[in-house]
Amino acid sequence: MSSAESRKPTRFVERIRPAVRALRPYEPGKPIEEVQRELGLDHIVKLASNEYPEGPFPEVKDALRAEMDELHRYPDATWHHLLDAVTEVYPIGRDEVLFGNGANEILELIVHLVARDGDEIVYAHPSFPIYGLLSQSHFDMGVSVPLTGDHVHDLDAMADAITPRTRAVMVCNPNNPTGTYVSEADLVRFLERVPEDVLVVLDEAYVEFVTADDFPDFFRLRERFVNLVSVRSFSKIYSIAALRIGYALGHPEVIGMLQRVRQPFNVNRLAQKAAATALRYQDRVAERRETNRRRLDQLGEGLQERGCRIVPSQTNFYLAFTPQESTEVFGALLREGVIVRPMHSFGLGEGSFRVNTGTEEENAAFLRALDRVFAAGTTGV
């Protein structure tokens, strides 16, 4: 078969639901290796994927090296030691935790669990695009609600969007890509309006970075709202994104149902070992939270000094806007060896971008690159 013939539409594709055929695959931030290949650069500063700039704790690396001799063994399908570790850190029972191949798998399990033809999932926009992708791939069930003018979840509008067909509501808190959050008081008012048979999923991937005093306390709220689930990640402050592990916290009946639809051995052996080890060092997590706040301040001040508008953030990144609406700045930054995430595809404007904190040196390198780009007139300033 010729190459041209292999690209002809197939009868198989014709039978796929139109909503799935219309999906645009998720586009992650450019990896360092790709930019190096494309531009022939040796040194790249990547501030596009909200990764923590330092690697895993030393003890995690040691634990992984020790685990290498067991790679011929299947992982523990019951996550025994990992459950020991998480229940020592959080006031939660073993039957109230579910681990997954990244938080993404857990979100997919939730949609898979509740999805039936004709049902609906409510979520904000712009927010984590996986909500829309999952909803559209499962019976085209997504109902997106615009953020407020301050880039915060409009919880009143989201509550108004709930109908008898609604099965779940996704609340990304703090929100990606805006860095904004909803307070506990606002969330409680929202939860009081949500029917008990509608699952409220708090996507708290960035919760360890939060410093706001009025941020919702999931462990307090779960005692009152049994339909509340928190989804969290080891990819951010714990620096083990490459191993893909996340977890859900919730009522035993909800977790039990999710257990029924997950695949066996869904969390690999190395990921389990790394996560169980990392959880023991909550003092390091607190140190990283403080360090991130300092770096966030450095980044925010530098952006504002250069005429960029930023949205207040409780994460390790800023949503920012260049002085002039232009996408050219991002290509120019790439040629300077700096990767940020353009946000115009999220509907946030041609000059919008998301940039996460790096080390102090990486932040400074980004700001110097931005100076050079602006001085060259790329954005018309």
**Tens-binned pLDDT, residue by residue, of the chain (381 aa):** 455 555 666 677 777 777 777 777 767 766 777 767 776 777 889 999 999 999 999 999 999 999 999 999 999 999 999 999 999 999 999 999 999 999 999 999 999 999 888 999 999 999 999 999 999 888 888 999 999 999 999 999 999 999 999 999 999 999 999 999 999 999 999 999 999 999 999 999 999 999 999 999 999 999 999 999 999 999 999 999 999 999 999 999 999 999 999 999 999 999 999 999 999 999 999 999 999 999 999 999 999 999 999 999 999 999 999 998 887 899 999 999 999 999 998 889 889 999 999 999 999 999 999 999 999 875 444
CA 124/CA 165 separation, integer angstroms: 17
The letter for the amino acid at 319 is L
Instruction: Determine if residue 10 is left, alpha or beta; phi over 0 gives left, psi from -120 to 50 gives alpha, anything else beta.
Output: beta
CA 227/CA 100 separation, integer angstroms: 20
Q: What is the DSSP letter of 113?
A: H
pLDDT at 220: 97
Overall pTM surpassing 0.85 (yes/no): yes
Domains present along the chain, CATH in parentheses: 3-54+283-375 (3.90.1150.10), 58-280 (3.40.640.10)
pLDDT at 381: 40
Would you give the distance in Å from CA 88 to the centre of its chain?
25
Instruction: Determine if residue 151 is left, alpha or beta; phi over 0 gives left, psi from -120 to 50 gives alpha, anything else beta.
Output: left
Place of tokens 């645009």: 24
pLDDT at 14: 72
pLDDT at 130: 94
DSSP SS3 for 122: strand
136: number of Cβ within 10 Å? 18
Question: How much is the CA Rg of the chain, to the nearest whole Å?
Answer: 22
pLDDT at 26: 67
Token pair for residue 41?
């650069």
Question: How open is the CA angle 165-98-105, to the nearest 5 degrees?
Answer: 65
Which residue, among 196, 192, 188, 178, has the nearest Cα to 218 in the 3D structure? Answer: 188
pLDDT at 199: 98
307: number of Cβ within 10 Å? 14
